[in-house]
């Protein structure tokens, strides 16, 4: 019988909220650990029931039962880890350190349960007769989930794997915490108004508001993107741009308690050891066995192909930018902190367009309305603001999503502005996945989290064009989750191969460049006038400005990732140089700027050391091939063509991970994707 304290824990109750949404206002930090421990206990009991039944193993009583186990644990962790990224605190980070080894051990308990594996293997050996494609995928994933996580190891190696996984999980949390602390620690307070030269009025006002909020006089700038990016883009004060750049690029690389170099060394070492234990030559070999690319060789060849096309363009662009800086300001040696500043000036001179010219047409509320209208025109869905859905921060906006027939489809959370408890960047996540239950179709609860320019005392939130594309990008992920129509949660929505998951998100960015879409929402926040056609043409004309250098940056990040994870040294220390030296060698020939001693990308490269992109950062470029090829189908038939949109929804968005992505893509396009579409769109081929 539950104790009184347990009955007061909201995780132990069925949510009676609107659409079963999380009652954030009722959850306290002390609720997490007891609920997670109980969730682990419940899951173990469910696993034991599968193992010890005397019934003949079948797909239903083994594979489906395993899929449905751990419901309470999923309920708690989906709340905790999402908030630990979007609204964390020192106390939550301490809880994360406490529960991480518990969850790691529990995962290992399942993966290395010999009795459970025997049941799964027996069902797997029965073959796939009578199974749907989705059931076949679930069975294959279940079997691989054991073989790829130590089920075939001897007891000694199983114990070693447990130790590795527990330590890796802890290190990943430490990595992220240090990056966040470094980001929050830096502030640049300007008290001389002359040092604001070049900065747009809205940026000045935001900086003044930030200073006032912290009871300081002057203008305060931080490493949050809406503060950092405009400063290094527009400030004429080169020495201040340098200060901001060095602070941003040296996160977790300084000689203090937040340095991540040893953390990276150990993470890479443990990943290699784990891969070797499981019979793979490298961590990349292990990861890519379950990706479209399949092998490190394929990834390296892919990146090399893109590099070969982009490098001449990038070199020409750098020479052009260097000459421009020399011409207008007498700069003899272009530095990293000059890149955004002179690129923006040259872009404005060449195309008579810049972010500040466009910003008044991109009021956040209107852009959000535009992305909703785009979804309605494509897929018939609509968004309705709800004030009766609990939220974890006052900035969050909640919506009910309805399908084309007006029926409930999903819950959508939008969290747009930076704050101290939120990590940098932008991402989509789910608080609840879509799946079929005994009660029917469980609809998803989806969220997008961003760090956009905040409103000021006199202006609403006015976005840069890059922020507009970011919103469309994350909304593409959200559509993948909201339109899910599978049977099993582990195959639903964005539960797909990592080099396929960026297709819907990157595809949505294409609509931002089309007049037919921009006319829906790009209206001046003061006059209401629609964005001029010549501005739209300039957006399109300038789309490939510096695309060679942008491509080289993405290729470089992919090579840094593969440099860390494709090494095959069989338990020797994989990195026998400093992190900075290793990183520099990985991108040799790809970066034209002088080296900056204080800068290191890897120490804050959260995608690969905290997120799920280790050995997978290449997937952004891989998915660009898919999205460019996909958008050509829309261009051929009309960007809002209902038949093309319906086909994409049914074959890609709703299908999730029910079948191999190559099968799904061929079903949509009738063939494999062609890299030429990407190269053509980026202006890298004629």
Q: Does domain 280-353+547-610 have CATH number 1.10.1370.10?
A: yes
Does residue 211 surpass a pLDDT of 50?
yes
Task: For CATH 1.10.1370.40, list the domain ranges present in the chain.
Answer: 4-152, 359-541+620-681
5-44 pLDDT, tens digit per residue, is: 556 899 999 999 999 999 999 999 999 999 999 999 999 9
pLDDT for the residue 334: 97
3-state secondary structure of 132: coil
pLDDT for the residue 611: 84
Region for residue 135 given its phi and psi (left: phi exceeds 0; alpha: psi -120 to 50; beta: otherwise): alpha
Please pick, among 182, 273, 317, 474, the residue that the annotation labels catalytic: 474
Q: Give 224-229 contacts, CB < 8 A, sequence gap 24+.
A: 224/183, 224/418, 224/424, 224/451, 225/418, 225/424, 225/425, 225/451, 226/418, 226/451, 226/452, 226/453, 226/454, 227/203, 227/418, 229/340, 229/464, 229/466
605-639 pLDDT, tens digit per residue, is: 999 999 889 999 999 999 999 999 999 999 999 99
pLDDT for the residue 1: 40
67 is catalytic: no
CATH of 359-541+620-681, one of 1.10.1370.40, 1.20.1440.230, 1.10.3720.10, 1.10.10.10: 1.10.1370.40
Closest CA to 179 of 582, 611, 683: 611
135-184 pLDDT, tens digit per residue, is: 999 999 999 999 999 999 999 999 999 999 999 999 999 999 999 999 99
What is the percent of the chain where pLDDT is above 70?
98
468-495 pLDDT, tens digit per residue, is: 999 999 999 999 999 999 999 999 999 9
pLDDT for the residue 612: 86
Does residue 257 surpass a pLDDT of 70?
yes
pLDDT for the residue 115: 96
Q: Are the C-beta atoms of 411 and 455 separated by less than 8 Å?
A: no
Token reading at 91? 């106390």
Residue 598 — pLDDT band, cuts 50, 70, 90? very high
Q: 1 or 581: whose pLDDT is higher?
A: 581
373-424 pLDDT, tens digit per residue, is: 999 999 999 999 999 999 999 999 999 999 999 999 999 999 999 999 998 8
pLDDT for the residue 457: 86
Distance, CA of 409 to CA of 560 (rounded, Å): 40
Task: For CATH 1.10.1370.10, list the domain ranges present in the chain.
Answer: 280-353+547-610
How many separate helices (H) and strands (E) can be counted in the chain? Answer: 28, 9
Cα-based torsion angle of the residue sequence 164, 170, 172, 176 in order, rounded to the nearest 10 degrees: -170
Helical spans, DSSP H, in 126-197: 133-147, 155-185
Distance, CA of 644 to CA of 59 (rounded, Å): 36
Mean pLDDT for all residues in the chain: 94
Give me the architecture of the 4-152 domain, per CATH: Orthogonal Bundle (1.10)
Residue 355 — pLDDT band, cuts 50, 70, 90? confident
Token reading at 519? 């006319």
Distance, CA of 558 to CA of 293 (rounded, Å): 13
Token reading at 49? 């029931």
pLDDT for the residue 571: 46
300-328 pLDDT, tens digit per residue, is: 999 999 999 999 999 999 999 999 999 99
Q: Give 396-401 contacts, CB < 8 A, sequence gap 24+.
A: 398/21, 400/19, 401/482
pLDDT for the residue 572: 52
pLDDT for the residue 417: 96
Distance, CA of 146 to CA of 165 (rounded, Å): 15
Q: Answer whether 0.85 is exceeded by the pTM.
A: yes
Closest CA to 132 of 490, 489, 488: 488
Does residue 2 surpass a pLDDT of 50?
no
Mean pLDDT of all residues in 341-356: 93
β-pair partners for 432: 445
Q: Are the C-beta atoms of 641 and 633 separated by less than 8 Å?
A: no
pLDDT for the residue 573: 57
Distance, CA of 669 to CA of 339 (rounded, Å): 39
From 263-272, 569-578, 601-610, the region with the lowest mean pLDDT: 569-578
548-567 pLDDT, tens digit per residue, is: 999 999 999 999 999 999 97
pLDDT for the residue 278: 95
Mean pLDDT of all residues in 84-98: 95
3-state secondary structure of 201: helix
Residue 682 — pLDDT band, cuts 50, 70, 90? confident
265-282 pLDDT, tens digit per residue, is: 999 999 999 999 999 999
Does residue 73 surpass a pLDDT of 70?
yes
């Amino acid at each position: 019988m539950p104790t009184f304290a347990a009955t007061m824990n909201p995780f132990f109750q069925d949510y009676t909220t609107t659409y079963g949404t999380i009652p954030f206002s009722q959850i306290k930090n002390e609720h997490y650990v007891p609920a997670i421990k109980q969730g682990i206990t419940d899951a173990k009991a469910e696993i034991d029931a599968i193992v010890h039944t005397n019934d003949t193993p079948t797909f239903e009583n083994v594979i489906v039962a395993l899929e449905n186990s751990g419901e309470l644990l999923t309920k708690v962790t989906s709340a905790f880890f999402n908030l630990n990224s979007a609204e964390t605190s020192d106390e939550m980070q301490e809880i994360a350190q406490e529960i991480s080894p518990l969850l790691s051990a529990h995962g290992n308990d399942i993966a290395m349960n010999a009795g459970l594996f025997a049941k799964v293997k027996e069902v797997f050996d029965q073959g796939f007769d009578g199974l749907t494609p989705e059931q076949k995928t679930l069975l294959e994933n279940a079997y691989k989930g054991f073989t790829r996580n130590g089920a075939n190891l001897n007891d000694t190696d199983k114990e070693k794997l447990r130790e590795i996984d527990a330590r890796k999980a802890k290190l990943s949390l430490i990595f992220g915490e240090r990056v966040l602390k470094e980001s929050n620690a830096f502030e640049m307070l300007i008290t001389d108004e002359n040092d604001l030269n070049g900065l747009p009025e809205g940026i000045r006002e935001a900086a003044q508001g930030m200073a006032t909020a912290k009871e300081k006089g002057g203008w305060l700038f931080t490493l949050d993107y809406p503060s950092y990016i405009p400063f290094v883009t527009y400030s004429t004060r080169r020495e201040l741009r340098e200060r901001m750049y060095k602070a941003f690029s040296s996160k977790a690389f300084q000689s203090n308690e937040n340095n991540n170099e040893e953390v990276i060394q150990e993470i890479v070492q443990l990943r290699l050891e784990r891969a070797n234990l499981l019979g793979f030559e490298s961590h990349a070999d292990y990861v890519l066995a379950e990706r479209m690319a399949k092998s490190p060789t394929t990834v390296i060849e892919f990146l090399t192909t893109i590099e070969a096309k982009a490098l001449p363009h990038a070199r020409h662009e750098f020479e052009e930018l260097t000459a421009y800086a020399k011409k207008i300001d007498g700069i003899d040696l272009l530095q990293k902190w000059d890149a955004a500043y002179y690129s923006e000036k040259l872009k404005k001179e060449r195309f008579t367009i810049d972010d500040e010219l466009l910003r008044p047409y991109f009021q956040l509320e209107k852009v959000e309305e535009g992305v909703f209208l785009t979804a309605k025109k494509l897929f018939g869905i609509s968004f309705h603001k709800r004030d009766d859905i609990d939220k974890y921060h006052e900035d969050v906006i909640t919506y009910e999503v309805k399908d084309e027939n007006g029926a409930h489809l999903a819950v959508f959370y939008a969290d747009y502005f930076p704050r101290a408890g939120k990590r940098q960047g932008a991402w989509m996540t789910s608080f609840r996945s879509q799946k079929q239950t005994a009660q029917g179709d469980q609809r998803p609860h989806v969220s997008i989290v961003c760090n956009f320019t905040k409103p000021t005392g006199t202006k609403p939130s006015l976005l840069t064009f890059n922020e507009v594309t970011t919103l469309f990008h994350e909304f593409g992920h959200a559509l993948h989750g909201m339109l899910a129509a599978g049977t099993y949660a582990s195959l639903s929505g964005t539960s797909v191969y990592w080099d396929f998951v960026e297709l819907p998100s990157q595809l949505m960015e294409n609509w931002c460049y089309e007049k037919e879409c921009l006319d829906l929402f790009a209206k001046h926040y003061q006059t209401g006038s629609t964005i001029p056609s010549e501005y739209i043409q300039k957006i399109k004309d300038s789309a490939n400005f510096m695309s060679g250098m942008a491509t080289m940056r993405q290729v470089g990040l992919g090579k840094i990732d593969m440099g860390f994870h494709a090494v095959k040294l069989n338990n020797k220390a994989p990195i026998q140089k400093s992190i900075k030296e290793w990183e520099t060698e990985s991108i040799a020939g790809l970066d034209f700027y002088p080296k900056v001693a204080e800068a290191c990308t890897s120490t804050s490269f959260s995608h690969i050391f905290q997120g799920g992109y280790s050995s997978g950062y290449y997937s952004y470029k891989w998915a660009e091939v898919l999205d460019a090829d996909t958008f050509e189908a829309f261009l051929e038939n009309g960007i809002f063509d209902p038949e093309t949109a319906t086909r994409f929804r049914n074959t890609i968005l709703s299908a999730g991970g029910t079948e191999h992505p190559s099968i799904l893509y061929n079903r949509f396009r009738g063939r494999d994707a062609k890299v030429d579409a990407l190269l053509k769109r980026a202006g890298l081929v004629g």
